[in-house]
């Protein structure tokens, strides 16, 4: 069966479809939009906007796949105050053995403008 499928792929080869990366201007526009929405008087809405903003920035900075970010659970994240985030990413497209992986994201110092 493998040989048949390999032969079909060889006979009808197509270029690999790759998702287009998020452009910097689109990232800036989305973050600006989230900052405006984060001024909501409803606490649950503010929390959702901050959470969404954090996921977008985390995914952009560390080039995480969207499916990996969608599979994140709160219990998969350990925060070390002033040091790092330890994030467990469940198995994804490139994880053939479905073991998942742990990523250490260093803390970033933010300066007020």
Write down the pLDDT at residue 4.
Answer: 87
| CA nearest neighbour of 66 among 53, 55, 78 | 55
Burial status of residue 68 (CB atoms within 10 A of its CB: 0-12, 13-18, 19 or more): buried
The tally of CA atoms less than 13 A away on the side-chain side of residue 108 is 8
Write down the pLDDT at residue 111.
Answer: 57
Write down the pLDDT at residue 14.
Answer: 80
| CA nearest neighbour of 101 among 90, 85, 110, 93 | 90
Write down the pLDDT at residue 29.
Answer: 92
Q: Hey, where are the domains in the chain?
A: 22-63, 64-113
- Low-confidence residues of the chain: pLDDT under 50: none
Write down the pLDDT at residue 71.
Answer: 86
pLDDT tens readout for residues 73-84: 889 999 988 889
Which residues, at least 6 apart from 93, have a Cβ–Cβ distance to it below 8 Å?
65, 67
DSSP state of 108: -
Q: Where are the beta strands (DSSP E) in the chain?
A: 77-80, 84-89, 101-106
């Amino acid at each position: 069966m493998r040989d048949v499928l390999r032969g079909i792929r060889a006979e009808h080869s197509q270029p690999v479809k790759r998702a287009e990366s998020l452009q910097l201007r689109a990232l800036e526009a989305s973050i600006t939009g989230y900052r405006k929405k984060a001024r909501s008087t409803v606490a649950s809405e503010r929390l959702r906007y901050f959470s969404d903003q954090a996921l977008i920035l985390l995914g952009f900075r560390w080039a995480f796949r969207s499916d990996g970010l969608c599979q994140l659970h709160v219990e998969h994240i350990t925060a070390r105050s002033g040091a790092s985030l330890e994030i467990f990413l469940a198995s994804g497209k490139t994880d053939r053995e479905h073991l998942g992986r742990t990523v250490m994201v260093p803390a970033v110092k933010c300066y007020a403008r």
